[in-house]
Structure 1
Amino acid sequence: MSQAQGTIFIVVAPSGAGKTSLVAALLQAEPGVELSVSYTTRAPREGEVNGKSYHFVDRSRFEGMIAEGDFLEYAEVYGNYYGTSARWLRERLAAGHDVLLEIDWQGARQVRKVFPEAVAVFILPPSIAVLESRLRGRATDSEDVIARRLSEARAEIDLVADYDYVIVNDDFATARQDLISVIRCQRLQAGKQLSRHGDAIAAMQSPR
C-alpha cells in the first residue's frame, strides 16, 4: 500500500489563551508532529533562535517572497508579516509527516482554502476576564495594547464555529491532554492506519 499523506494540524487562539505553551507540550509528547517554522519580519525576542523559533527576514525579502508565491499563507499582524512556506509544507506532507501550523485565524482560512482536509483546533480561554488577567500578568503590554488584544480576541472567538475542535484552556494539564487526543484520534483513522501498517494488516487477513 502507498505511504499515507501527512496531516496538517492548525492551532489558533487569541493572544493570551496559552497556545504557545500547549503547542510546546504537544510537540514534546508527540515527536512525530513537526512544527512549521514561520517566516517573520519582526525582530527576534530574547532566547529565540533563527530557523528554530522563526525564520527572521527583513520586510523587503518577505515582500519579495510574496511576489514569488513562496507562501501558502501570510498575514500582517501588529505591523509585522508572518508566513508559511508552501514548498516545505508540501514536501513534508508528501513524505508522510504530520505538520502543525501555529497561526492566526487569517492564516487558518488561507490554508483551508488549499487544504480543506486540514484539522483546525481553536484554543479558548475560560473567560474574557481570565484572558485579561493573563495579558496583564505578562507585564509587557500597555493599556492600549491590552484593550486592542481583548477586542481582537472577541472578534476571533466570534469565528469559533469554523473549527473542527475547540479546547478550553482552563486547567493546563487537561487542555494539554485534549490537544494530544485530537492528534492521536486523527492518526488512528482507518485509511491512515491501513497505509501505515498495510503489510502487517495484509499478513493477518484471510488468503485471497
Structure 2
Amino acid sequence: MSELNLELKRPIVICGPSGCGKSTCIRMLINRYPNSFRYCVSHTTRPRRPDEIHTRDYNFVSKEEFDEAINKDEFIEYVMFSGHYYGTSKAELKKAELEKRVCLMDVDIQGVEKLQKTNINPVCIFIRPRSFAILEKRLRSRSTESEDRILQRLAVAHQEMQYGISEGKFDAVIVNDNADKMVQEVVDVIRQKLSS
C-alpha cells in the first residue's frame, strides 16, 4: 500500500530521545506510504556527520545563513541545542502541502512546544524505548560520539522521557520495542487524527 487516503493534512511531529527510533519510524512510514508522507528536512548549523547527506538528513547551513533566515521569519520553529541551531522552515511545510502529502517532522521537545503554539495544528507523537537501559545500549552501539557526549545525551534523554510521558503533552505516546509494531501504532494514531 502506498497511500493512506487521509482527509486532513495536519503535520505529524515525531518526538523522543536520541536513540528511541524516530528516524527509523519516519523512514519506514515514507517507504510504506510514499504517496502519503513527505519528510520535512530541518535546517541546522551543526557540522555534518560522515554518514549524513545535505538535504536528505538536514539542510546544513552556516550560523550566518541561519540568522538571516530567522531575520526573514522563514522558520515555523527553531531552537538552540548543544550550541547549534535547529529549525523547521516554512518552505518545507509548503513543499508537503503542494505535493498534497502529510509533512513528517522530527523535532525535540522545545520544538514541539513551539509548534503547538502555532496555527499548523500538528499531531504530536512521542516515541520512547521500553526501558532507559535499552536507550543507553542503542546510543552506545552507534559508536559515533565520545563518552562525555553520550552521558550528556543520556541526561537529556532522561528529562525528555519524563516530559514525554506527562499527561496531555502529546496526542500519543508509543513504546518502541519492535519497529514494525511501533510504525503500525503510529499509523493507527495518524488514521484516527487525520480521518476526522
What band does the TM-score fall into relative to the shorter chain?
0.7 to 0.9
Q: Report the CA distance shift for 1:13/1:6 in structure 2 as closer, same or farther (over 3 A).
A: same
CA RMSD of aligned residues (A): 1.9
Say if 1:93 and 1:154 are closer, same or farther in 2 by CA, change over 3 A.
same
Letter in 2 for 1:13: G
Q: CA deviation at 1:103?
A: 0.8
Matches within 5 A, 1:15-94: 15-31=18-34, 32-90=36-94, 92-93=96-97
Runs of 4 or more off by more than 4 Å in structure 1? none
State the structure with more CA Rg.
1
Q: Aligned match of 2:149 in 142, 145, 150?
A: 145
Structure whose residues are more often helix by fraction: 1
Question: How far is the alpha carbon of 1:188 from its aligned partner?
Answer: 2.5
Question: Would you say 1:178 and 2:185 are equivalent positions?
Answer: yes
> 1:206: which partner in 2?
none
Give 3-state SS (helix, strand or coil) of 1:168's partner. strand
> How far is 1:141 from its partner?
2.3
Aligned twin of 1:188: 195
**Structure 2 counterpart of 1:12, one-letter code:** C
Aligned match of 1:195: none
Tell me how far 1:54 sits from its aligned partner. Answer: 1.6
Identity of aligned residues (%): 35
- CA gap of 1:134–1:60, structure 2 versus 1, over 3 A, is same
The residue that corresponds to 1:163 in the other structure is: 170
SS of 1:114 mapped into structure 2: coil
Kept after mapping to 2: 8 A contact 1:123/1:168: yes
Aligned to 1:12: 15
Question: Contact conserved, 1:19 with 1:123, CA < 8 A, in 2?
Answer: yes
AA aligned opposite 2:62: D
* 2-structure distance, mates of 1:138, 1:157: 20
Deviations 1:22-62 (A, max 9, x none): 11111111211111111111222234332222211111110
Evaluate the alpha carbon distance shift between residue 173 and residue 115 of structure 1 in structure 2; reply closer, same or farther with a 3 A threshold: same
Native 8 Å contact 2:41 2:92 kept in 1: no
Q: CA deviation at 1:165?
A: 0.6
Provide the C-alpha distance between the structure 1 equivalents of 2:180 and 2:8, rounded to a whole number of angstroms: 30
Letter of the 2:87 counterpart:
G
Matching residue within 91, 104, 107 for 1:103: 107
Per-residue deviation at 1:90?
A: 4.4
Shift of 1:149: 1.2
Question: Which residue, out of 117, 124, 130, partners 2:128?
Answer: 124
**Residue-by-residue CA offset, 1:125-150 (whole Å, 9 max, x unaligned):** 11111111111111222222222111
Aligned length: 186
Q: Deviations over 1:93-146 (max 9, x none)?
A: 477431111111111111110036310000011111111111111122222222
1:178 shift after superposition: 1.1
